[in-house]
Amino acid sequence: MTTTSEQTTSGEPAVPGTTDSGTAGFLTRHRRAVVAAVVAVALVLVSIGGYALWAKRKLDDALATIHTEQVFAGIDPATRPAPSPDGGVTFLLAGADLLSAEELTGTEAGTTGQAGLETLLMQKPSGPGRSDIIILVHVDAARDKASLISIPRDSLVTIPSYVDASGTTHPAVRRKINASFSLGGPTLLVRTVEDLTGIRVDHFAYIDYYGLIKLVDAIGGVTVNNLYATSNVYGNPSWNFPKGEIPLTGILARVWVSQRKNLPHSDLDRARNSQELLHAMALKLASPETFSNPVRLQSTLDLISSVVTVDETLDPGTMKGLALSMRSLDVNTIQMGTAPTEARTTFNGETVFPLDTSRTPCLWAAIRTSDLASVARCSAS
């Protein structure tokens, strides 16, 4: 596919994506999955007080068919951080772009037209992808406070040594954090995040853009607060997002949350947009518009069971127990932020954001202890 080079609004060249293919075995054997569905759907839905017995039964059915994948079995327990000192639980949420929208730029984007681009974007993905969205969610022991912190995909980190599918051992390497998923799937991503933060990941959920489109449409679309007006996104003159509150259907949500090259802070703005979208989805899922509509609720639950992949520890009983324990958690009080980074730079030919190590230790400690005030102070909002 022919593409042309995009630039950011500051005139900087487009950031090249990783092209590693280590997740083929994980991604091609199973149904593709989508970001934060477990927390934003399975947990949020059931935590709404006073839900109907019918809805409970439908949720039971949906949870029973959610796909699980071995994530933690390949990690040596002796190498992992200690459990959260506050008795809380930590989720790692990952979202991958398996059908890269960055391929839909240049001359083909200009000639395909809106309908053609939508057809491409709606296709089920195939092959390995990059973890474009990486989010840590920590809920305290009382299950009434939570923080949601994005780690920008272009963050420069140390990926620990690993053994690939062919049995070859690879040494630790400094790369963008999203390369960990491409190289070693969810297990290597979990190891990378745990080594980076010192936070034990208790559960993992994965989602791709195809599932995101379907889920947003199933709940009737969402409204997000767009900080920066953008136009002609991915070379399509119909994809324009004015500043302020904007409604998004599934396809528009996919385009809005994946764009970065025409945003002033590139991947940092994309991380912020991913949080905004998750928050909007959680609010819509918990609203009477969705929860009190039997047809919409049933279609949403049915969809969840077909697109969500979670780790092997999240069996239906565990998921329902976690959800019930979080019924006092108000999604409007979740503390959201982004891991602080230094100025954009180049490392081994790639544009990266080194993490700000003068602030990240404070942030990781605050997440572990559910200190929301320090999470706000130490993160980049």
Task: Read off the DSSP letter of residue 167.
Answer: S
In-domain check, residue 229: yes
Residue 191 confidence (pLDDT) above 90: yes
Alpha-carbon distance of 322 to 340, in angstroms, equals 30
H or E stretch including 247? strand 244-248
Task: Say what the pLDDT of residue 214 is.
Answer: 84
- Residue 79 falls within a domain, yes or no? yes
Which of 338, 293, 349 minimizes the C-alpha distance to 13? Answer: 349
Quick check: 199 pLDDT over 90? Answer: yes
Most distant CA atoms of the chain, gap in Å: 56
| Residue 2 within a domain | no
Query: CA 94, 372, 80 angle in degrees (round to 5)?
Result: 50
For 244-263, the pLDDT digits (tens) are 999 999 999 988 988 888 88
Q: Would you state the pLDDT for residue 297? A: 72
DSSP 222: E
Distance between CA 10 and CA 327 in Å, rounded? Answer: 44
Q: What domain range includes position 327?
A: 24-378
Q: How many domains does the chain have?
A: 1
Lowest mean pLDDT among 59-68, 96-105, 231-240, 340-349: 96-105
Q: How high is the pLDDT of residue 213?
A: 84
Secondary structure, 3-state, 76-115? CHHHCCCCCCCCCEEEEEEEEECCCHHHCCHHHHHHHHHH
Can you give the pLDDT at residue 293? 75
**96 band by pLDDT with thresholds 50, 70 and 90:** low
Burial label for 343, CB within 10 Å (0-12, 13-18, 19+), is exposed
Residue 53: both structure tokens together: 């017995």
Q: What is the pLDDT of residue 321?
A: 79
User: Is residue 154, in this structure, part of any structural domain at all?
Assistant: yes
**Alpha helices (H) in 80-231, listed in sequence order:** 106-122, 179-197, 209-218
Is 55 part of a structural domain of the chain?
yes
Q: CA–CA separation, 359 vs 380, rounded Å? A: 9
Mean pLDDT over 224-248 rounds to 93
- Global pTM reads 0.74
- Coil, helix or strand at residue 135: strand
CATH of the domain at 90: 3.40.630.190
Whether the Cβ atoms of residue 149 and residue 135 lie closer than 8 Å to each other: yes
134: tokens are: 């990486």
Does position 279 have pLDDT exceeding 50, yes or no?
yes
**304: in domain:** yes
Bigger pLDDT: 102 vs 273? 273
Q: Where are the alpha helices (DSSP H) in the chain?
A: 24-29, 37, 44-46, 53-65, 106-122, 179-197, 209-218, 250-258, 267-286, 288-291, 294-307, 316-325, 360-368, 372-378
Q: Say whether pLDDT at 123 is over 60.
A: no
- Domain for residue 336, yes or no? yes
Instruction: Specify if 61 maps to a domain.
Output: yes
Residue type (1 letter), 344? R
Give the model confidence (pLDDT) of 36-78 as tens digits. 333 444 443 334 333 444 456 666 666 666 677 889 998 999 9
Q: Percentage of the chain surpassing pLDDT 70?
A: 71
Q: Look at strands 335-338 and 146-150 and give their pairing.
A: parallel
